[in-house]
Structures are given as C-alpha cells and as structure tokens.
Amino acid sequence: MTAQLALSQLLNGLQLGVLLFLLAAGLTLVFGIMSFVNLAHGSLYMLGAYFGAAAFAHTESFLLAVVAAVVGAGIVGLLLDRFALTSLYQRDHLDQVLATFGLILFFNELIRIIWGPSSVFMQAPEALSSTVDIFGFTYPSYRLAIIGVGIAVALGLYLLIQKTRVGMLIRAGATHANMVAALGINIKWLNTWVFALGAALAGLAGVMAGPIVSVQPGMGEPVLILTLVVIIIGGLGSIRGAFLAALIVGVVDTLGRAFMPTLMRTLFERSTADAAGPALASMLIYLFMAVVLAVKPQGLFPASTSVTR
C-alpha cells in the first residue's frame, strides 16, 4: 500500500461523507426540530436525481439539472409537508414510520410509471468528466466537485443556523416551540420551510449522485439506511453532528472496504479471508453505530441544547 493509494481512498471516503451529509442535514433537522421520522427522505433524493436527469436530457445543461433537482425536490417537500404529513406531526413515531414508508412505495411506483423500470441516463458535465492529478495519482474531477459542493453547503448551513435571524428561530423552535409561537412567530410555517429546505438538500444530493450511480426506482433506500446511521452517530438534530458523523461514516466505510479484505488475508488463509473480509467491511459502520449507541446514546455530537417536545 502506497501513500498515494491511502490518500485517494481518504478522498473517496470524504466524497461519500459529504454526499451523506447533504442527506443527513435535512433529515436530522426534521428529526430534531419537528420530532418527525421521515423515511421518505430517500424518495426525495431519488426525485432529485430524476428531476435532474429529465432537465439534463432536455437542456444538456448540468447547472439547470441541479436547479431543477433542488427546486423540484423542495417543492415536493413543501407539498408533502402541507398536504400529506401535516396531520402526522402530533402522532406517534410508529405512525410516522408507517406513513412515510407508504410514501416510499408510492414514489417508487410513481417513478416507475413515469420513467419506466430501467435506469435513466445521467452524466457528469463535460468540464468535470475527466480526472485530475494530485500528488502523483489521478482522481475523478467530478468527485472532487462533490466534495467542494458538500463543504460549501455545510458552511452555508452553519451560517444560516448560527448567524441569521431565521436560524435563531429554527434553533428556538426546536427547544421552545410554544414560546416562539407566543412571540408571534408562525411556527408551522417555519417548520414547513425547514422541511422544504431538507427536501431541497436531498434533491441536491440526488442530482449530484446521478452521474455516479444508477438513476432508477428505489435508488433512495440503500442511501437512506446509511443516512440514518449518520444521524444516529452524529446526534439527532445536530447539523454539526451530521457533518462530522457523515465524514466519519464515509471514511470508515471506504477504508474498511479498501483495506479490510487485504488485512484479513494477512491474518487468515485466503478462502476464509475472501469470505469474511467483505462481510466484515460492510458491517463496520453498523458495529461503529452500535458502539456509539452503547457508550453515548445521544450521539457523538448532540445538539447543544436538549430537544424536548
């Protein structure tokens, strides 16, 4: 193993991490602030990818694809919040899980009816479709762009939540919803916008992932599971936690996959190692989550104030 290989695997981990962050940010806000379990978050990711692919097919412009994905997913989020989910906020978490699981099935079928069961075409913009040389190894420039976008969004969210009036209201609404309402703020609308923001970020994640993964019905589910792991490790409702946990999960998962099988081969004979290595590598983040849950049930980086309903 060379230093270049290790570095390129680290970049791979970071790239997976920031993509997970885009999803986790919205999910953790909705989870932490509205105490709402939204399993359909993965569907918004899928919708983002499809909106992006459709816009790309018509305009050949990746920028417009991104706009279509973000705005489209945001609008779907807005409509979902207003019409489908509004009566669920006061209900039990189990009801929310069931209802949003139903939404997953609904959206998968809807996408299949509109776009068919096959993957649809989506590619990276021309300018980012090659590789760049960093310290003597080549790395796909599109993946670097994802890292850049992810960090920019993280920074933007930090400023929004910590430095603006809206951010202050969001933070206040999370802990003292009644007090904020008493001060004349329409907390329902605030929550709606938070939900739409989360949806738009999921849409952004979807369109950014489009050139890397297969855009097909059901593409949101595997990534949703990783996202749930991220917000559990990071601590519910914490953007900072989501960011750091996403990077940790991305890097741990990638390095595990990259080096675990080789490591196993030095410890066991080849056939055993080939069987156990990949299995263990894919379990690594779940083991990590289990340890975090056992040691720090609030997550590694919980939101600064405790969230109560």
Partner 1 sequence: MHKLVIALIAAGCVSGAAFAQTAPLKIGFVAELSGPQAPLGQDQFDALMLLIEQNGGKLGGVPVQIIKEDSQLKPDVANQVVDKLLEKDKVQIITGVTFSNVMMAVHKKITDKGVFLIGSNAGPSPIAGAQCSPYFFSTSWQNDNQAEVVGKFASDKGYKNVIAMAPNYQAGKDFVSGFKRTFKGGTVTDEIYTPLNQQDFSAELAQVASKKPDALYIFYPGGLGVNFVKQFQQAGLNKSITVMSTSTVDGSTLPALRDAALGMLSGTFWGPDFPNEANQKFVAAFEKKYNRIPSQYAAQSYDAAQLLDSAIRKVKGKIDDKKAFHAALKAADFKSIRGNFKFGSNQFPVQDMYMFDVAKDSKGRVSLRTVAKPLVNHVDAYAASCVMKAL
Q: To the nearest whole angstrom, how small is the minimum distance from the Cβ of residue 13 to partner 1?
A: 8
Rounded to 5 degrees, φ, ψ at 215 are: -85, 100
CB nearer partner 1, residue 19 or residue 37: 19
CB nearer partner 1, residue 137 or residue 193: 137
Residue 201 buriedness (CB in 10 A; 0-12 / 13-18 / 19+): buried
What torsion, rounded to 10 degrees, do the Cα atoms 19, 13, 150, 239 define?
A: 80
CB nearer partner 1, residue 194 or residue 245: 245
Q: To the nearest whole angstrom, how small is the minimum distance from the Cβ of residue 164 to partner 1?
A: 34
Inter-CA distances, 154 with 18, 71, 92, 164, 284, Å: 9, 19, 31, 15, 25
Rounded to 5 degrees, φ, ψ at 134 are: -125, 125
In angstroms, rounded to a whole number, what is the distance separating the alpha carbons of residues 221 and 218? 6
CB nearer partner 1, residue 61 or residue 87: 61
| Strands (DSSP E) found in the chain | 131-134, 137-140
Which residues lie across from 29 on neighbouring strands?
none
User: Residue numbers of the site for partner 1 (CB under 8 A)?
Assistant: 1-2, 4-5, 8-9, 12-13, 15-16, 112, 116-124, 129-131, 138-140, 142-143, 211-219, 222-223, 254-255, 257-258, 261, 274, 278-279, 281-282
CB nearer partner 1, residue 140 or residue 302: 140
Q: To the nearest whole angstrom, how small is the minimum distance from the Cβ of residue 227 to partner 1?
A: 13
Q: To the nearest whole angstrom, how small is the minimum distance from the Cβ of residue 191 to partner 1?
A: 31
Q: To the nearest whole angstrom, how small is the minimum distance from the Cβ of residue 275 to partner 1?
A: 8
CB nearer partner 1, residue 103 or residue 303: 103
Tell me the helices (H) and strands (E) count for the chain, helix number first: 11, 2
Other CB atoms within 10 A of residue 265 CB: 14
Q: To the nearest whole angstrom, how small is the minimum distance from the Cβ of residue 131 to partner 1?
A: 4
Inter-CA distances, 285 with 15, 86, 187, 291, Å: 16, 34, 36, 10
What torsion, rounded to 10 degrees, do the Cα atoms 122, 45, 106, 198 define?
A: -150
Q: To the nearest whole angstrom, how small is the minimum distance from the Cβ of residue 106 to partner 1?
A: 14
CB nearer partner 1, residue 17 or residue 235: 17
